[in-house]
C-alpha cells in the first residue's frame, strides 16, 4: 500500500544561466505541465485542491494553496527544505521556490555560470482512492555575491493571487540584506530562533521583526515557539484548580534549565527566554533589571509581580545544561511560590517523547506523573505554520518581553 505521504518527482529540467530569466522559467514549467496534459493554470479558490483533466487514465490534482519561498545556506539545508515539504500531509504549497547559496568555486569550476536552475513537478500519493497531488518546485543555486540580486527576481516567480510565505531555517536572517528584502514581498515569515544559538544580540534583533509600523509588514512564526506548546500546556494545567491559582500571586522563584547545545548544534536559550516572556506577559510581571551573567554560568534577573497593590520580587534564573540528557530545547522549568500560598511546580523532559511533571502545595500533596508528548518534526511545524495566516498575539507579547529582558 502506498504511504500517505510518499512522493516522487514526475518531470524535471535543469539549466545554467548568466542571468535568471523568469520568463524562461515560466515557459519551462508550462512545458512540463503540458507533458502531463495538465494545464499549469486553472480555477479554484485559494486553499483548494483543484482537479485537472485526466492523463494516462489517472486523475490529476493540483495544489492551489500558497507560495512557499525558502532560503538555504547550503545543499544540506536545501535537502532539509525539500524533504520537509515532501512530507507535508494536508496542506501543500502550490509552488515552492528554494534559493540555495553555492560554496566558493572549486579549482577547475571557474567557468561555471552564476546561476543553476532546477525545476520539478512532484507527485504526492495520498494512499486513498483520491488522485495523486502535484506541485511545483523551483530551485535556484547561486554564489554568495549573486544571492543579493535574487530578491528582485523572486516576485515574478510567485504564483499570482496566493498568499506568500518565507521560510528561513538557518541562523543568518538577522541583519541579512536578502532576508530584509524578501520579507517585504511576503505575508508571513517563518524562522527558528533556536538557530541563533547563545547570541543574545541575535535574539534581541527578533523584536525588530515585530516593531514595524507598516500595516503591510509580514506576520512572524517561530519553530521554537511551536516546540514550547506542550511546556505551556503542562505549566498552565498546574493552576487549573481554583485553590492552586492562589499560588500565582505568591511566586518567588522561576528556574529554567535549557540545552546549552541542542542535538542539531543550536541552543535552548531562545526557548528559555520565550518561556519567561510567556509567563511574564500572561501574569503581568515587570522587569526590574536586565539579565546579568552568573559567575557559575547562565543568567539571572529580578522581576516584579504586582499583587494586592504591592510589588513582589521574583528571582529568575536561566541555567545552561551541558549534560547528555539536555539535547532538546528545555531540560526543566520549576516555579516556586511562598508566603501564605507555598508550592512547587516542575516540568521536566526526560527524553524525546516523555515529560515528568510534579507539583505540591499546602492543600495538595506531592503529585507526579509521566506525560507522553513527542517532539514535533520540521514538517509538523512547517505544516502548522503554513496554515496560520493571522498574528499570534501571545507569541508577540512573549518575544517582546523576552528581548527587553536582555542586557
Per residue, what are the HEC states of the chain? CCCCCCEEEEEEEEEEECCCCHHHHHHHHHHHHHHCCCCCCCCCCCCEEEEEEEECCEEEEEEECCEEEEEECCHHHHHHHHHHHHCCCCCCCCEEEEEEEECCCCCCCCCCCCEEEEEEEEEECCCCCCCCEEEEEEEEEEEHHHHCCCHHHHHHHCCCCCCEEEECCCCCCCCCHHHHHHCCCCCEEEECHHHHCCCHHHHHHHHHHHCCCCCCCCEEEEHHHHHCHHHHHHHHHHCCCHHHHHHHHHEEEEEEEEECCCCCCCCCHHHHHHHHHHHHHHHCCEECCCCEECCCCCEEEEEEEEECCEEEEEEEEEEEECCCCCCCCEEEEEEEECCCCCEEEEEEECCCCEEEEEEEECCCCCEEEEEECCCCCHHHHHHHHCCCCCCCHHHHHHHHHHHHHCC
Are 355 and 349 in contact, with CB atoms under 8 Å apart? yes
Neighbours of 63 (CB within 10 A): 25
From the list 406, 380, 113, the residue with the least C-alpha distance to 272 is: 406
Q: What is the pLDDT along the chain (407 residues), one digit of tens a residue?
A: 334 556 676 788 998 988 889 999 999 999 998 887 654 444 444 444 344 443 333 455 566 789 999 999 887 888 889 889 888 877 789 999 999 988 776 544 555 678 999 999 888 776 666 677 788 999 999 988 888 778 888 999 999 999 999 999 988 888 888 999 999 999 999 999 999 988 888 888 888 888 766 677 899 999 999 999 999 999 999 999 999 999 999 999 999 999 998 878 889 999 999 999 999 999 999 999 999 999 888 999 999 997 555 578 999 999 999 887 777 899 999 999 999 999 999 999 988 789 999 999 999 999 999 999 988 999 999 999 999 999 999 999 999 999 999 98
Give domain limits for the chain. Answer: 7-186, 226-375
pLDDT tens-place string over residues 124-160 = 776 666 677 788 999 999 988 888 778 888 999 999 9
From the list 337, 336, 349, the residue with the least C-alpha distance to 234 is: 349
Could you give the CA distance from residue 9 to residue 12 in angstroms, rounded to a whole number? 7
pLDDT tens-place string over residues 226-257 = 999 999 999 999 999 999 999 999 999 999 99
As beta bridge partners, residue 205 has none
Amino acid at each position: 500500500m502506498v504511504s500517505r505521504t510518499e512522493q516522487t518527482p514526475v518531470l524535471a529540467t535543469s539549466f545554467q544561466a548568466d542571468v535568471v530569466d523568469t520568463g524562461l522559467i515560466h515557459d519551462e514549467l508550462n512545458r512540463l505541465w503540458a507533458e502531463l496534459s495538465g494545464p499549469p493554470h486553472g480555477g479554484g479558490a485559494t486553499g483548494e485542491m483543484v482537479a485537472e483533466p485526466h492523463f494516462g487514465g489517472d486523475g490529476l490534482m493540483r495544489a492551489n494553496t500558497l507560495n512557499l519561498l525558502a532560503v538555504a545556506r547550503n545543499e544540506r539545508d536545501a535537502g532539509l527544505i525539500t524533504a520537509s515539504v515532501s512530507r507535508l500531509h494536508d496542506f501543500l504549497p502550490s509552488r515552492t521556490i528554494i534559493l540555495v547559496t553555492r560554496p566558493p568555486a572549486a579549482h577547475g569550476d571557474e567557468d561555471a555560470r552564476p546561476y543553476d536552475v532546477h525545476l520539478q513537478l512532484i507527485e504526492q500519493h495520498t494512499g486513498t482512492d483520491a488522485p495523486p497531488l502535484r506541485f511545483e518546485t523551483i530551485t535556484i543555486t547561486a554564489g554568495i555575491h549573486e544571492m543579493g540580486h535574487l530578491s528582485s527576481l523572486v516576485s515574478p516567480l510567485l504564483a499570482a493571487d496566493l498568499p506568500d510565505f518565507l521560510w528561513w531555517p538557518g541562523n543568518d536572517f538577522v541583519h541579512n540584506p536578502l532576508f530584509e528584502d524578501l520579507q517585504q514581498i511576503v505575508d508571513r515569515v517563518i524562522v527558528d530562533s533556536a538557530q541563533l544559538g547563545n547570541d543574545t544580540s541575535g535574539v534581541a534583533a527578533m523584536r525588530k521583526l515585530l516593531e514595524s509600523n507598516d500595516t503591510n509588514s509580514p506576520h512572524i512564526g517561530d519553530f521554537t515557539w511551536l516546540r514550547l506548546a506542550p511546556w505551556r500546556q503542562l505549566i498552565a494545567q498546574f493552576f487549573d484548580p481554583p485553590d492552586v491559582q492562589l499560588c500565582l500571586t505568591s511566586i518567588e522563584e522561576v528556574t529554567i534549565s535549557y540545552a546549552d547545545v541542542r542535538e542539531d548544534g543550536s541552543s535552548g536559550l531562545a526557548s528559555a527566554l520565550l518561556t519567561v516572556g510567556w509567563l511574564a506577559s500572561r501574569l503581568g510581571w515587570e522587569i526590574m533589571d536586565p539579565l546579568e551573567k552568573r559567575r557559575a554560568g547562565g543568567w539571572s534577573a529580578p522581576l516584579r509581580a504586582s499583587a494586592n497593590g504591592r510589588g513582589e520580587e521574583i528571582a529568575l534564573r536561566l541555567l545552561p545544561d551541558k549534560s547528555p540528557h539536555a539535547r532538546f530545547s528545555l531540560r526543566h522549568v520549576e516555579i516556586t511560590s511562598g508566603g501564605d500560598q507555598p508550592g512547587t511546580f516542575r516540568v521536566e523532559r526526560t527524553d524525546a517523547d516523555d515529560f515528568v511533571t510534579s507539583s505540591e502545595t499546602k492543600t495538595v500533596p506531592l503529585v507526579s506523573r509521566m506525560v507522553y508528548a513527542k517532539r514535533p518534526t520540521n514538517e509538523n511545524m512547517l505544516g502548522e505554520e503554513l496554515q496560520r495566516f493571522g498574528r499570534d498575539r501571545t507569541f508577540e507579547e512573549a518575544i517582546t518581553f523576552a528581548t527587553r529582558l536582555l542586557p
